[in-house]
Structure formats: C-alpha cells, structure tokens
Amino acid sequence: MKKKLLWPTLDALFTVAGLLVSVAFYFSLHVSQARLIQMTRTIPVLLAATLLGLMISGIYRSLLRYAGADTFLQAITGTLAGTGVTYLVSLIISLFIQGYEASPQWILMPRPIYFMQWVITLFLVAGSRFLIRYREAGSHKRAGKDTKRILIIGAGYAGAAMIRDIQNGRYGNAAAVAILDDDPQKQNSSISRVPVAGTTDQIESAVEKYGADEIVIAIATPKGDLTDLLNRCLATGLHVLLYSGAREGTEAREINIADLLGRPEQHLDMTGVQEYLAGKTVMITGGGGSIGSELCRQILAFTPKKLILYDISENYMYDLFFELKEKYGELVTNTVVLEVGSVRDEESLWRVVGRYKPDIVIHAAAHKHVPLMENSAEQAVLNNVFGTYKTAKVAVECGVKRFVLISTDKAVNPTNVMGASKRLAEIIISSIPNGSTEFMAVRFGNVLGSHGSVVPIFERQIKAGGPVTLTDPEIIRYFMTIPEAASLVLQAVSIARGGELFILDMGEPVKIRDLAEKMIRLYGTGREQIICTGLRPGEKLYEELLLDRETDKATERDRIYVTPQDHYDWETVRSWLSGLETAIDQHRDIKQALREILPTYHEAR
C-alpha cells in the first residue's frame, strides 16, 4: 500500500513545486499577499486535477524499468490535463464571482504562470521516472562477475531496441558491453552508453576485449544473406541469438537450422492461393507426413470447405489433429476429416474420394528414404508408382478438378529406386487420360527437418555427444524449409492450367559437411567428431541442378518456374505398368525392370 501511494505523493509535491517556482519566477520573487492567497486557492484544484489526469493516463500502472515514449506521453497528457482543467475552473469561478467581489482576481492567475507550471511539473514527473529507469540500467551495466556480457551486432533500430530490453532487465542479469556495425558513420558513437566499438570484421577481437559471453545479431532489415555473419559468430564458440525487433514483444531467438540454409527463406505471396482455396474441399494423401501436415496448417488459414487427411499412419494424423484443434478450435472439428487408408487400396480411395468429392487432391503419400528403398524396391514401386496411378485414376473417375503430385529432385536422372519411382509417377500423371482433371507435379529438393532427413539425425547425434556420421565429405544437396515446400505446392494449385512440372529456385546447393559443422557449433560443444562412412546404395554425390534458366520458364509467381516435360503415349505407359506388375508378381529384378522403362535411370557408381 505504501508503494502505491509513493508516486502520487511525489507527483503532488512536484505539482506544488511547479506552481511555487513559476509564481516566484513570474513575479521576480516579489509576491504580494494577494497573490499568495490566490495561489493557495489554486493548489487544491491543481492537485486534484493533475493527480486524476495522471491516474487516468495509466502512468501509475506502468513498469518503470520499461519506461519509454509511452511513459513520457502519459506524463504529458496527465500534467497537461491537470493544468488545463485548473485554468478552466479558475476562469469559470472568477467570471462567476466577478459581480460579487471587489477583485475579480479571486483565483485566476496570469496565463504564463499556468504554462510555466505545466512545463516544470512535466519535467519533474517524467524526469523522475526516467531517472529510476536509467539507475536500474546502470546497475545492470555495473553488475559483477556473474553478469552475462552481451556483444551486439548492429547499431540500427533493432540493436537499439535490444540494448533497451537488456538494460530494462528483460534478459535477467545481463549487460550489453559493445556494439559492432559496418556503417562508418556509426563508428565512435554509442547507444544508451554502449559504445560502437568496431565492425563485424572484428568479432573475435571484440569478444576477447570485452569478455563477451553471448552474441546477439540485431539487424531488423538485413541487406543480404546473413550466413557468413552467422558462421563468424558461431566460430567464436559463444551462444548466438537473432533479434529482428520488427514488432512489439519481439525477443531474441535461438538460431535454427533454416538460418544456416545459405539463402533467405522464401516467403511467397499467398494472395492468389487464398482466393483459389477459399470454400473448396481439399484432400491430402500422406496428410500426416512432414509436407502433408504443413500443407494442412497453411490450408486451414485459407478457410477451405473441407480438408480431408488420408494416411496409412493414424498416429501422425491424430497428433496433428489435436495440434490444429488447439490453434483453430472448433474450425478444425467442422473442417478437418481424418481417413485412414493406403494409396495402394483402390477401394479405400474410391470410398473416400467418392464420398467427399474433393475439388483438389494433393498427392504427398510416398516412400522417400533412398537407402531403404534400394533394399525394398518392390515396396517403392507399389507405393510410389502404383499408389500414384490408383490415386490419379480415382481422381479422374470422381471428377476431381486438380491433382498435384509431390515429386523430388531425385527424379532428375535418377540413380536410385526412389528417384526412378518418382520419375515414373511424374510420367503417369502427365500421360493418364485426364477427363476434366488438371494434373501437375511440384519438384523440389531436400526438406529441412522432415521425418528421417539428415538434419534431425545430425541433431540427435550432436546432442548425444557424437560422432556425427557423414557419408562423404564432398556430398552436396539443395535444401528448402518445410513451409517453403508447402507454399510452393499451394502456389502450383492456384496457378496451374494442367500438365505443368513446377520447380522452385532453391539458390545454391549446400555442402553437407559444412552443414554438419555449423550444426555442431550451434547445438554441440564444438568437439564432436565427424566420421565419413561412404556413400550409401543409390546415393548421388551431387544432386542434379533443379533449375535450368535456359529452358525453364518463369511463372507469374516469384521464384517459381515450369520445366519442359517429355510426353508419353498412355498405351505405352500402361504397358510399362503391366510389365512392372508382372515383375513384382514373379519376383523378378525390379531395378532391371525400371532401367528398361527409364533410359535416364543409372545406378550410382
């Protein structure tokens, strides 16, 4: 209770002091008895109006350690309201008693006194708050050996916001010790008493000089790729955070693996997707997988009529359903339908597609792990080839408007069964008699963080203390994030006209050894060993380039291209399928059967 009364009591003193000083100054310290009486009559009104104004402004609910522009605005409005109300009340009273008193100056004082009183009171009220704030900030800065010492990269808006948060105690017992920025005009300056001590070329020396324990990269609008800067910060062995400061409540966050991709994550314009998907029924095969589940998350934001998830694994779908229900509430109950079934089962597909009559089918169900499919070629063909054929066939027969196949960069000049099976799936949907159904495929590279991908494997190995197993030190891959992959699929749905094979400009490929080393610096101690085990069966050293700017055509959507396809007669394709079916029934060499169909399929050497 005493603490709650402290600031109103101080503000009352500040208000009276402001009035006394302004009266004394205005009359040059020669204040008559009449003026003193006038002043004493003014004080009760001024105190009541000012304290009420400050209370309404919310200044007594503000936390002083976060005092900023909002606190200053509250002080302005509260004190101005107090002074303004006092002047109006004094004016009204004086006019009212003018006919009854010999002197009309019963309470109204000269106007300049009111202005001076407001300025002095504002200075005292606001200044006292900021004095407390900077005193607390100074105590953080002077903290002892247990204080976390933070080196800030970036002397712009985000850097200043980060420093303010640190000094306000938002990051506990921490102190910003120095700033690095490449802008020459910012050198030898400071932000909130934290010096700009050099450029980003001096990260290692600054860490040593200032005894930094942590680095925060605080750049709100990066001018280019931050990968090199991230690598130099991680090379110091310190904990590194990223801070954008783009909106209120932003916090410095951990670096994630997408930050090490080597290019900015692509955020595509989804306006056209929203317009196309709203009110439609969408079915996703493989709906519980990495891509399928992310598609579901994004599609729900576009208010579909129904969203049918079809998957052989009920566990992933069940978990996803409750994740979405926590986020979207009853919308999920009314919109999302879970159907357990296999794309190999034509009757099950007929039951689901025939019942819900989807406008769009996104075919994400597939066996995708290269080494496993080398040892289970028959299962790869049954799932990826015949599963695609049966799903496409049912889609045509049920009048589905658009069918999108999720493909892979491994379908380009395949060297493994998985890639060959996906290439054959692409050929099937481009050749099948389509009736009124528009078929298209979306091809992209490795997806960061998907089930069974290299990133979660590396992360588990690093957190277990190593070693990190790498097949070959020279192996390279194209990567994209799960949200990017899902966005590309939805872009294809919205702009397709039928027959396209869409690809995304994925930038430069990533060397897997470099990725492993970055992850060791990010998640480990830096001492984890990397062991090379040799290329696995069917694995390429270098993936084929996805984007050929000489032959691929740009679309109206940024960074999305259409690549030319070879077209095959459906009778020929159907004979291939019949041959594959016979090879499976007779337990013949499936790889040889695929090589006979696909001249571009050559096993890796």
CA separation for the pair 530, 384 (Å, rounded): 34
For 48, list phi and psi in degrees, rounded to 5: -60, -45
pLDDT at 223: 66
Name 504's bridge partners.
Answer: 560
Top-confidence residue, 130 or 229:
229
pLDDT at 264: 59
Residue type, 114: Y
Tell me if 265 is assigned to some domain.
no
pLDDT at 140: 44
What does the pLDDT average to over 145-173? 86
pLDDT at 342: 97
Is residue 14 located within the same domain as residue 48?
Answer: yes
Is residue 210 located within the same domain as residue 300?
Answer: no
Residue type, 574: R
Is residue 107 located within the same domain as residue 149?
Answer: no
Residue ranges of alpha helices (H) inside 432-481 are: 454-463
Tell me if 395 is assigned to some domain.
yes
Is residue 164 located within the same domain as residue 91?
Answer: no
pLDDT tens track for 261-294:
666 566 667 888 999 999 999 999 999 998 999 9
Tell me if 458 is assigned to some domain.
no
Examine the pLDDT at 138 and tell me if it is beyond 60: no
Top-confidence residue, 113 or 450:
113
Examine the pLDDT at 410 and tell me if it is beyond 60: yes
Is residue 34 located within the same domain as residue 118?
Answer: yes
pLDDT at 589: 93
The token pair at 36 is 């003193």
Q: Are the CB atoms for 403 and 437 separated by under 8 Å?
A: yes
What does the pLDDT average to over 285-305? 93
CA separation for the pair 324, 338 (Å, rounded): 12
pLDDT at 102: 46
Q: Is 555 helix (H, G, I), strand (E, B) or coil?
A: coil
User: For tokens 């606001």, what's the residue?
Assistant: 126
pLDDT tens track for 238-268:
889 998 765 555 678 887 777 766 665 666 6
pLDDT tens track for 41-65:
888 888 999 999 888 888 887 656 5
pLDDT tens track for 518-575:
888 777 776 788 999 888 887 777 766 566 665 677 777 767 788 888 889 999 999 9
Is residue 153 located within the same domain as residue 48?
Answer: no
- Looking at the chain, the whole-number percentage of residues with pLDDT higher than 90 is 39
Tell me if 521 is assigned to some domain.
no
Q: Are the CB atoms for 365 and 313 separated by under 8 Å?
A: no
Tell me if 197 is assigned to some domain.
yes
Per the structure, how many domains does the chain have?
3
Is residue 233 located within the same domain as residue 278?
Answer: no
Examine the pLDDT at 382 and tell me if it is beyond 60: yes
Is residue 179 located within the same domain as residue 288?
Answer: no
What does the pLDDT average to over 119-146? 70
Per the structure, the complete domain to which residue 378 belongs is given by: 271-451+478-509+545-597
Cα–Cα distances in angstroms (integers) from residue 482 to residues 78, 255, 295, in the given order: 51, 16, 9
N-terminal to C-terminal alpha carbon distance within the chain: 80
CA separation for the pair 319, 404 (Å, rounded): 25
Is residue 79 located within the same domain as residue 30?
Answer: yes
For 469, list phi and psi in degrees, rounded to 5: -95, 130
Residues with Cβ within 8 Å of residue 289, at least 6 apart in sequence: 311, 316, 364, 365, 450, 451
Q: Is 340 helix (H, G, I), strand (E, B) or coil?
A: strand
Q: Are the CB atoms for 229 and 153 separated by under 8 Å?
A: yes
Tell me if 604 is assigned to some domain.
no
Domain-terminating residue out of 121, 139, 157: 139
What does the pLDDT average to over 71-79? 87
Beta strand pairing status for 510-511 and 476-477? antiparallel
Residue ranges of alpha helices (H) inside 60-150 are: 69-96, 111-141
Average pLDDT, the chain: 85
CA separation for the pair 458, 476 (Å, rounded): 15
Tell me if 400 is assigned to some domain.
yes
Examine the pLDDT at 2 and tell me if it is beyond 70: no
pLDDT at 139: 45
Give 110's pLDDT tier (boundaries 50, 70, 90). Answer: confident
Q: Choose the most confident range, by mean pLDDT, from 79-83, 123-127, 344-348.
A: 344-348
Is residue 306 located within the same domain as residue 348?
Answer: yes
pLDDT at 542: 72
CATH number at residue 245: 3.40.50.720
Is residue 366 located within the same domain as residue 496?
Answer: yes
Is residue 251 located within the same domain as residue 289?
Answer: no
Tell me if 522 is assigned to some domain.
no
Beta strand pairing status for 553-554 and 560-562? antiparallel
Top-confidence residue, 108 or 514:
514
Domain-terminating residue out of 188, 221, 255: 255
**Range of weakest confidence among 172-176, 207-211, 314-318, 550-554:** 550-554
Examine the pLDDT at 416 and tell me if it is beyond 70: yes
Domain-terminating residue out of 139, 165, 186: 139
pLDDT tens track for 9-45:
888 999 899 889 998 888 888 877 777 887 888 888 8
Give 68's pLDDT tier (boundaries 50, 70, 90). Answer: low
The token pair at 185 is 């005009």
Q: What angle do CA 246, 252, 257 make, to 5 degrees?
A: 100
What does the pLDDT average to over 407-414? 90
**Beta carbons within 10 angstroms of residue 590's beta carbon:** 21
| pTM of the model as a whole | 0.67
pLDDT tens track for 442-486:
988 777 767 667 877 888 888 888 899 988 888 888 777 888 889
- Looking at the chain, the whole-number percentage of residues with pLDDT higher than 70 is 87
